[in-house]
Amino acid sequence: MSTSLKTDEAAHAQSPDDERVRSVSLVKKLLTRPELGSISGALLVFAFFAIVAGDSGMFNADGILNWSTVSAQLGILAIGACLLMISGEFDLSIGSMIGFAGMMIAIPALYWGWPIWACILFAFSGAMSIGFLNGFIVVRTGLPSFIVSLAFLFILRGLTIALSILFTNKTIVSGVAEVAEGDIFAAAFGGEIGSSFFNWLATMGWIETYTDGSPIVSGIPMVIVWFLLLATIASFVLLRTPYGNWIFASGGDAKAAKNVGVPTDMVKISLFMFTAFCATVFAACQVFEFGSAAADRGLLKEFEAIIAVVIGGALLTGGYGSVVGACFGALIFGVVQMGIFFTGADSDWFRVFLGIMLLAAVLFNNFIRKRVTGSV
């Protein structure tokens, strides 16, 4: 018996392939990776601007810092939006949340005399509670998250303006920089790291300096550090943990996931809280970098984040996507936005490009999904 089994196995080993399975080339295998589109798109965009704007300073130290900061800001939002979209939901209130969270930091710091750490804690817990409410309503009512978060888009924007006028009589609260001077928690969002390294590069003459000898890039902004940190954690969680598997399952087929015991409601609610967390990180970085909060901050950011995620290969219907892809989506966004500025072209063209890019990405993703689900 055992020998016959062995020969059976040997036969299997010799002809492992079904005669009905075509051998698929590496290119075709790569095509089913969600991040492929955005990585190749990013390469294209870099090549394009290297040719068109190579001598405009876009790829000097300060130019690089410029577009990487813009990309990192959007990337932070895209990471949250990406996980949420994979779980099958949207959050259109991210943009309004940025304005709201910024005020939750600035007003207590300037008008109520709270210490900086308390303001930050207040903003994060406030934003995440709203994220919880958002998610709770979505999973309990079964309403599309599009509608629920659209409602919160207006509620939060309205509240931000109304409350800041109520408490401060202004819609732009400035002067945070003075209060936060030397505070380590403020520096964790608005500060820079690696200053001594850049000073050293300047003294070695490897990067350009101002006339007083200080380097034109004084350090790496914390927003980039946050972006890289969040991207690493989110990607790891998505691909390598049971919770990550639940995210895919909740978005792929919530009913099937529930039937095998995946707590889909918990997954979705926690991801609404995570997008609110990301929006607050964005807001905190902005408030402490510029030293002010404004009620109109973050306008349209929800759409930019969704665009970055979709360019990054995620399906709007959920169940498929990649954090790395979303990060490259944000990078494309930042590079093009700044690249158009560096080439001196009218920035209106940026929007035209963005729209076309979005359309191309969605068409490409549709094609990929059909491949993955076997309907091609």
Question: How many CB atoms are closer than 10 A to CB 5?
Answer: 9
Which tokens in the block code for residue 288? 């402490």
Q: Does 1 bind other proteins (CB under 8 A)?
A: no
Stretch that binds other proteins, among 172-180, 193-201, 258-266, 306-314 (CB under 8 A): 258-266
Question: How many CB atoms are closer than 10 A to CB 232?
Answer: 14
Which tokens in the block code for residue 255? 């009913």
Stretch that binds other proteins, among 17-25, 221-229, 299-307, 327-335 (CB under 8 A): 17-25
Q: Does 246 bind other proteins (CB under 8 A)?
A: yes
Distances (CA, A) of 6 to 2, 9, 10, 17: 6, 5, 6, 18
Give yes or no for a contact between 319 and 253, defined as CB atoms under 8 angstroms apart: yes
Which one, 125 or 373, has the nearer CB to other proteins? 373
Measured in degrees and rounded to the nearest 5, phi and psi for residue 292 equal -150, 165
CB of 269 to other proteins, least distance (A): 17
Which one, 171 or 245, has the nearer CB to other proteins? 245
Among 102, 244, 312, 325, binds other proteins (CB under 8 A): 244
DSSP for 97-157 reads: HHHHHHHHHHHHHHHS---HHHHHHHHHHHHHHHHHHHHHHHHHH---HHHHHHHHHHHHH
The CA distance from 237 to 303, in Å, is: 24
Considering only residues 344 to 373 of the shown chain, the ones binding other proteins according to CB under 8 A are 369, 372-373
Which one, 80 or 318, has the nearer CB to other proteins? 318
Among 113, 205, 261, 344, binds other proteins (CB under 8 A): 261
Which one, 51 or 260, has the nearer CB to other proteins? 260
Q: Considering only CA atoms, which of 84, 32, 121, 85 is closest in space to residue 269?
A: 84
Spacing of C-alpha 86 from chain mean position: 13
Among 201, 252, 316, 341, binds other proteins (CB under 8 A): 252
The CA distance from 326 to 221, in Å, is: 21
Considering only residues 310 to 339 of the shown chain, the ones binding other proteins according to CB under 8 A are 315, 319-320
Which one, 126 or 319, has the nearer CB to other proteins? 319
Which one, 234 or 257, has the nearer CB to other proteins? 257
Q: Which residue has the tokens 């309403």?
A: 143
Which one, 113 or 261, has the nearer CB to other proteins? 261
Q: Does 12 bind other proteins (CB under 8 A)?
A: yes
Which one, 213 or 242, has the nearer CB to other proteins? 242
Q: Does 259 bind other proteins (CB under 8 A)?
A: yes
Question: How many CB atoms are closer than 10 A to CB 20?
Answer: 5
Q: Does 19 bind other proteins (CB under 8 A)?
A: no
Interface with other proteins (CB under 8 A): 12, 16-18, 21, 32, 240-242, 244-246, 248-249, 252-253, 255-257, 259-262, 315, 319-320, 369, 372-375
